[in-house]
Amino acid sequence: MKKILFLMIFSICVFAQDSALFNIVKNVSIPDVQTAIKDAKALKANYSDENFTNFIRAWKKVEALYFAGEIDDDYLDTPRYMDVFNNLKEDLNSQMQRVIDSNDDPKKALFKNSFKTVNALEYVLYSDKTITDRKKAIAGVIIDSLVSKLEDIKGAYEEFLTSKPKDEKFDTAIVINTLIASTYRLKEWRIGNASGSSSKFKNDPNNNRAEYFLSQNSFAAIDAILDAQKEILEDKNYYNFASLSKKLNAQKELKVALDKIIETKEKLSKLKKDDFSKAQDLFESARALHNAYYLSLIDKLGLKANVLDADGD
């Protein structure tokens, strides 16, 4: 796949306490992590479909705008310990079935990092219609691990707010890089692979490739990702990415991105739930959104991006 890395911005600076990233972390990132923690605990208390969907939506918002790894290298790989979608060679489902079937204590049985991910949790709860006491015990250990990592992310963000400020160039590069990477994965992994629109699975749609095929939450995840991006692009009563874009006369390019988010959400809402067989137009909208960031907005903001080949499977 192509991954966008190492963005450099050549624009004006403002004080870091007023930077877009600072205010996004304070007003969006930390509240989103808090919601994910709350929803995870609610799921552990009651393994209902509604609670699982709420947690998935909350987690996708955290993952879609994950800045902690750029803020602190110690947290660079944290999302991979929580979610292995499209990043795991082995068959996780068959391994989780062996965990379920074993008599080992759940903490001992879940000895691999991949066994304590959101993907593993979905299999435990949705591999069949019955959630046994054994599955509940396993799910509880997985959720505790996820909550612990979410608490770590929250701590990284809180530390960022009290750390020595960096200039707007550095902060804005982080935001743009995250948006570009997020939309690439959205269009290729989360839409294109299942709809048969990606180069890897061209003209070969298969709903089984969807991110949350078992629980039928793939569309909910996509919608949450779009909502997360929309949240940081819209005008707010604090200095944010929209404020920066206005300062650099990039309102038109920002509006294109916002319009594409709305368009993609509308196309998603018109499709049969989690059916990617007719999602080719959805893919095109997501691709247009990606290009709105990677081409138009970058150019207007004075950004340069180096594109490196990387294996994301």
Could you read off the pLDDT of 125-170 as tens digits, one per residue? 999 999 999 999 999 999 999 999 999 999 999 999 999 877 787 8
- Write the pLDDT tens digit of every residue in 88-109: 999 999 999 999 999 999 999 9
Which helix H or strand E contains 228, and what residues bound it? helix 218-233
Report which residue type is found at 228. Answer: A
pTM of the model: 0.92
List the one residue out of 104, 93, 102, 98 whose CA is nearest residue 126. 93
Measuring CA to CA, how many Å separate 67 from each of 79, 102, 176, 199, 258? Answer: 11, 38, 11, 28, 21
Q: How confident is the model at residue 299 (pLDDT cuts 50, 70, 90)?
A: confident
